Amino acid sequence: MSVTANRIKELRTQKKLTQSELAETINTSRVTISRIESETRQPSYAMLSLIADALNTTVEYLQGETDSALKTPDVDDIGDEQPLTDAQKQVAYFIDPNATADEIEQIKKLVEIAKLSKRRL
């Protein structure tokens, strides 16, 4: 099993989440989570970002680039800019010229959710 698939499954089970619960949190299907965990589907960076947020970790940890599952606070280089909100990060990660039809639908859903909750993107 790949590092990514293994770490997603490991963190999901540590947090006592089913595949369905994780899928609902990130607005996808249980089948998608199952395929990612069984390596029959490679998740996009955008999908990894959503999974990482849902599991309270980083994409770098999920990809095996670091052994620390802990998130670090957002820090900007200059110190005078506000970090992106979670909603802004999700939309930014989804803007990808290689987005699949499924990912495009997820973008649309995120925008609708943001509109309903009256958040600024």
Angle at 42 between CA 22 and CA 59, to 5 degrees: 60
Burial class, 69, CB count within 10 angstroms (exposed 0-12 / middle 13-18 / buried 19+): middle
Minimum mean pLDDT among 43-52, 59-68, 71-80, 93-102: which range? 71-80
pTM, whole model, 2 decimals? 0.60
Beta strands in 1-121 (DSSP E): none
* Tens of pLDDT, residues 37-56: 999 999 988 899 999 999 99
What does the pLDDT average to over 95-102?
A: 62
CB atoms within 10 A of CB 46: 23
Q: Which pLDDT score is estimated for 121?
A: 44
The full set of domain ranges for the chain reads 3-62, 86-116
Instruction: Tell me how far apart the terminal alpha carbons of the chain are, to the nearest angstrom.
Output: 36
Dist. CA 83–CA 81, nearest whole Å: 6
**CATH number of the domain located at residue range(s) 3-62 in this protein:** 1.10.260.40
Please check the confidence at residue 18 and state whether its pLDDT lies above 80: yes
d(CA 101, CA 99): 7
